Amino acid sequence: MRYVMKQKLFSWGGDFYIRDEQERDIYFVDGKVFTLGKQLSFQDLNGNELAYIKQQFIALTAEYDISRNGAIVAHVKEQLFSLLHHRFNVDVPGPDDLEIEGDFLEHEYVFRRGDRVVATISKKWFSFPETFGIDVHEGEDDILILACAVVVDEASERRHRHNG
């Protein structure tokens, strides 16, 4: 399935809309303001929370927990020493961990489970700032992949602010 993620202009907390292939809004990511560390609520359009993303504030690198119904379903950690590329480990319960690797300047990323590509993020087809496409392969957990894409975007923005 192909999704388009677009950050709301003039949002205080880093809000996102996620659209389907037909350009219909299907998810909303509500960035919480006035919190210690980044916190985002991933919701359907009725306001039902599907996942919650919380930055681990004391970490040296970008680290986030993704939870559903109060239980952590993934821990996303940026690798510390990656100068040219941006790399993340996504620790999920069981043997299905993900690796995310890409270029934070170009906003092009590949999600892998072992040797298999399970999703991609690309900004190259969009001329609007803060807009990118996410392709999630069939059989994958779309909500988890999209929440990880939000984490990648947040970490990329953080890195861009510190380096630019």
3-state secondary structure the chain: CEEEEEECCCCCCCCEEEECCCCCEEEEEEECCCCCCCEEEEEECCCCEEEEEEECCCCCCCEEEEEECCEEEEEEEECCCCCCCEEEEEECCCCCCEEEEEECCCCEEEEEECCEEEEEEECCCCCCCCEEEEEECCCCCHHHHHHHHHHHHHHHHHHHHHHC
- Give me the amino acid identity at 145: I
Q: Are the beta carbons of 86 and 109 closer than 8 angstroms?
A: yes
Which residue, 20, 31, 3, is CA-closest to 157? Answer: 31
How do residues 63-120 score in pLDDT, each as one tens digit? 899 999 999 999 999 887 666 678 999 999 988 899 999 986 667 899 999 999 999 9
User: What is the number of structural domains in the chain?
Assistant: 1
Taking the CB of residue 127, how many other CB atoms lie within 10 A of it? 7
| Structure tokens, 121 | 């993020």
Residues 6+ apart with CB under 8 A from 117: 110, 111, 137
Give pLDDT, residue 135. Answer: 94
Q: Which domain holds residue 122?
A: 2-163
82 or 160: whose pLDDT is higher? Answer: 82
pTM of the model: 0.87
Confidence of residue 122 (pLDDT cuts 50, 70, 90): confident
- Kindly report the CATH number assigned to the domain that includes residue 157: 3.20.90.10
Residue 62 has pLDDT above 60, yes or no: yes
Q: Are the beta carbons of 88 and 99 closer than 8 angstroms?
A: yes
How far apart CA 58 and CA 108 sit, in angstroms, is 27
Min mean pLDDT across 16-20, 37-41, 64-68 is at: 37-41
